[in-house]
Structure 1
Amino acid sequence: MREFTQTQELLEKIALRQAKVGIVGLGYVGLPLGLAFADGGFPTLGLDVDGRKVETISKGKSYIRHIPEESVARLTAAGKLEATVDFSQAASCDALILCVPTPLGPSREPDLSFIEAAGRSIAPHLRPGQLVVLESSTYPGTTDEVLRPILEKESGLVAGRDFHLAFSPEREDPANGKFTTSTIPKLVGGHTPACLDAAMALYGSVIERVVPVSSTRVAELAKLLENIFRCVNIALVNELKMLCDRMGLDVWEVIDAAATKPFGFMPFYPGPGLGGHCIPVDPFYLTWKARHFEFATRFIELAGEINTNMPYYVVQRTVDALNAEGKSVRGARILALGVAYKKDVDDLRESPALRVMELLEAKGARIEYHDPYVGEARSLHDPSHVFRSVPLTKETIVGADAVIVLTDHGCIDYAKVVADARLVIDTRNATRAVVQGRDKVVKA
């Protein structure tokens, strides 16, 4: 039998848009998801331990650059979107969706402390019939082996009998103009068939296409595969970039040439390393879990190693370029352009730009950066060390011994940067359209 006692009641509330949706974690995943449910007619409550985020939402404002403030203001004014730090209000929700970070620990092992904390925060307030969904990227088995025991122990309820439990991986791509939360297909795996029905109904109310899979573990592994696919292919072109530098070839021209083939090829592009929450992290979640099955994921680990080492390669290219100009890296003034992990966002998570800056500073360089979206950035290995953005002026550029493009924000005039700079290290091919001053550009 697919349903237990409260399933039909929950399905009816979802169909009538009367189910209250609680979003636990209001970051880059949780806030847009909460907006999608609120915009879809569901009363939506955001729960977060960060009082600043709660206060900002309550004022109808957005703290994430690519999320329009107008959307937050409209939905909060209409009473469709609220936020709180009081987790006891989880009891008022019919569905609770966990969108919390899953970083790596010091030894690059999975850190599930945020999932565990979120589970312990809502568990005392669970009631029969509720739906709990985990969206955080994680290894196969997390929903069943980590989250479920916490919820059951603290609440006294049993998943699949008293409350619904599912996993549905987030697929957010910040600043992607082609896709939104509502138009990206959603995978859903349930703890039981009834759990799957409930989660499918909820997501299907606000997302165009919802794809069921047979279990939470399948959904968890599918998410890792999506990002490991990208990680491996980026590692391939990063390695090819290093080879092309040795051979005196332009890797971007090679990739563009290969991309003219209309089948059997998908272009990926190199950079100074991997950033964002998912792609640099997810491979290590799977390799860690694989070791529990006495299985070595050598191919995936090699890709991770290549991408992790890219900041060191960029630094060496910078040192060599300075040497060619008769300048030592020690004491050199270096201006970094962009510290966000990708263009046109304000997200610093796992940004390789920060690692490049740290490594150059360790060699004695004097580092400044300009990023129109990030006013200050903390060192990855020493959070007390703060870099602050400087204005991008002619004086700033001229005063640098080298300008290194680490994030290719679209609002920057790269032709002007090249014209004013003594030396440009381009890790993103941002200067590809620049004609004048090409002799000052070094690809890295």
Structure 2
Amino acid sequence: MALVCVGVSFLFLLFAGAKEADRARDRATGAWSRVVPLIREGPLPAVLEKGRVEAIQVLNAHGRPVAATRGLVGKPPMATFLPASSNVRAARVLCPPAGLKGCMTVVSYKVYQPDGIWPLYIAVPIVPWYGDVTALLLAVCVSVVVTTMMTAWVFRDLTKVVTPMNAIRTELAEITATRLDRRVPVPQYGRYSELKCLAETVNGTLDRLEGAYKQLRQFTSDASHDLRSPITAMRVQLDDALMYPRDTDWPKMTKEVLAGLDRLQAIVTDLLTLARLDAHAPLSREVTDLSELAGAEVKRRAYRVEIVKDLQPNVLIDCDRLRVTRVLVNLLDNAERHATSKVTVSVRAEGSAAILEVVDDGAGIALEHREMVFERFTRLDASRDRDSGGTGLGLAIAREIAEAHGGTLTIQDSERGARFVLRVPVHGAVSPA
């Protein structure tokens, strides 16, 4: 803004200088129009009134002064130049003209008389480029006033911006892991919407951070509880066996301890799998027939319920076979634990998606719990009553693997029981980002 003021002031001074130069020429022309009739018609007095110019001097055809203003009476010609032959007027800056002080603009006119050309010299002050001191002072004062006002306005606005920024910075500096419930202040005035958006974005990030931290604490608590329970049970069994060795059924106690160790191993294995998935470990992708993979896994072991297969052939996907097998195993284990008599496994292709469905005929899952079951260490009350050996991580692992393949794992509506639907891109399709 200061540069704009300087530029405008400079243009104003140039304009003022041009106007003052025009007035100087007008003064010289006025003196010429006043003296020329005296030369031609007479009488020409020896002493001339200078009027609004600095000096006037008239020379005869022989170059001798015959009339002048008071300061030049009896002095030699103030100048010796004449206009070119085709002109009647010429101007030069002389420093100083003869008989005068200081630099002046001397205008020379040719006055034609019977005995020859009489030179007429008129001296006017040199007009500076800025016109006069009044114009210069006016431009400087206006520039200073405008610059001061703009500086004050900018300072006021910057203060309005910096104050909430400092409040946001201060609040962020005081937020720690034990104070994640705190939020930065959101400016309420609407002139700087970007600052308001920044504060809202920071608060949104803090919301997600607080949620992630709570989830981490809950996960740690659940993991500790699930690891501690079998360890406590095995310790009690071993303490009883050592205290009453003769009354202990050692084969039975050994099987129970081994079952507890199997549960511990399953939990640790699931935790390691989740850690790898959270670290976004690279997938070993290869073209796989999803129907063949599902059929082979169903045939691999015996189930306590009937398994019904509906597998469309040649449903090809690009996947990590071991991880997709883990999804299928987790879904089959979950379905078998909750089914009454039958589990249906189906594979088909729909457009650019390959779909694997595992449906049981059990009690099903309420609509409000369909997302909850994919959270880590989540077991519904009905599930706890029926399945005390599950780790609570199987479905969370299955969804993480599905998303790592660019797919989804959801629970859809079913006439009876729970219906888990896995969708992944078919071979050659572009996975969503």
- TM-score band w.r.t. shorter chain: under 0.3
TM (normalized to structure 1)? 0.18
Name whichever structure is richer in strand by fraction. 2
Larger radius of gyration: 2
Q: Please give the TM-score of this superposition, normalised by the length of structure 2.
A: 0.19
